[in-house]
């Protein structure tokens, strides 16, 4: 049973989190980073582009590792390596670019804007006085 936490960003820079469980998460299984999924699985009209993610222990996904396995790779720069000095190489554990049941968080980019929710109108003194009259 797959459970995913999706972090979705729109073109304006706003982001939101959704949690998908069991049968709702099945359409994402087997997709690779860079592919698009239908936004209807999270209640949005449009496409979601998969940009990254991490597994249950926090190991990040990397676009240039094929499959869903965890591998130690030698990095000089890029995803999963911060503060590398010039010429420095570090062997780090990374996850492949295919979504499997071990993945916990998936980062997505939405191709539109999030729908605007109607603001909740709070009662003010003027509206309560009008009701009393």
Domain-embedded: residue 35: yes
pTM: 0.80
Domain-embedded: residue 104: yes
In this predicted structure, the answer to whether residue 127 has a pLDDT above a threshold of 60 is: no
Tens digits of residue pLDDT in 24-47: 899 999 999 999 999 999 888 889
CATH number at residue 62: 3.10.20
Domain-embedded: residue 92: no
Under the banding of pLDDT at 50, 70 and 90, the label for residue 115 is: confident
Tens digits of residue pLDDT in 68-113: 999 999 999 998 898 889 999 999 999 999 999 999 999 999 998 8
Distance CA 114, CA 10 (A): 7
What's the number of domains the chain is made of? 1
Domain-embedded: residue 18: yes
User: How many secondary structure helices (H) and strands (E) does the chain include?
Assistant: 1, 7
In this predicted structure, the answer to whether residue 61 has a pLDDT above a threshold of 70 is: yes
The pLDDT value recorded for residue 122 is 63
The phi, psi pair for 39, rounded to 5°, reads -75, -10
């Amino acid at each position: 049973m797959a459970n995913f936490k999706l972090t979705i960003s729109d073109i304006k820079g706003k982001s939101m989190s959704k949690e998908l469980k069991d049968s709702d998460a099945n359409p994402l299984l087997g997709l690779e980073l860079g592919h698009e999924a239908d936004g209807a699985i999270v209640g949005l009209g449009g496409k979601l582009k998969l940009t990254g993610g991490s597994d249950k222990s926090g190991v990040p996904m990397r676009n240039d590792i094929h499959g869903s396995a965890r591998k130690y790779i030698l990095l000089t720069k890029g995803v999963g390596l911060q503060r590398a000095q010039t010429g420095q190489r570090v062997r780090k554990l990374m996850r492949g670019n295919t979504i499997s049941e071990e993945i916990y968080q998936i980062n997505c980019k939405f191709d539109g804007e999030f729908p605007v929710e109607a603001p909740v109108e709070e009662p003010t003194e003027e509206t309560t006085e009008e009701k009393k009259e």
